[in-house]
Amino acid sequence: MPSNPVNVLFVCSRNQWRSPTAEQVWRKHPMVRARSGGTSPNARHTVSADDVSWADVIFVMEDKHKSRLFAEHRRLLENKPVHVLDIPDEYKYMDADLVEQLRQAVGDILGLE
């Protein structure tokens, strides 16, 4: 378990359902500072260079999000862990199944409960 809070950026396409859900789920954890963004120009909040620089670790929902992040921010992503969660775009905001997947997968990777 980390000794200091970790800055975690969650990324999906439009920052509408999956990444805001992840941010909401993890922002209450005392060892996590959470943000979310999208890779699409039409996202509610498009991932910025500041977001990538701020993050200690990045979680993307699908491989395409990782590819898009690297296309836009390759230099900033050097030596920064980017994990693909393989969560498809079939959930609404705070869907119970989505929440459970995010708690389990992110918790396992970060070593948090």
Rounded Cα distance between 36 and 52, Å, is: 10
Phi, psi of 85 (to 5 degrees): -85, -15
Per-residue pLDDT of 5-53, as tens digits, reads 999 999 999 999 999 999 999 999 999 999 999 999 999 999 999 999 9
What's the domain count of the chain? 1
pTM of the model: 0.96
pLDDT at 1: 53
Residue 9: how many CB atoms within 10 A of its CB? 26
Rounded Cα distance between 102 and 25, Å, is: 8
The CATH number of residue 34's host domain is 3.40.50.2300
Is 1 contained in some domain? no
pLDDT at 2: 58
Share of the chain above pLDDT 90, in %: 96
pLDDT at 98: 98
| Top-confidence residue, 78 or 3 | 78
Is 47 contained in some domain? yes
For residue 27, what are the domain limits?
A: 6-110
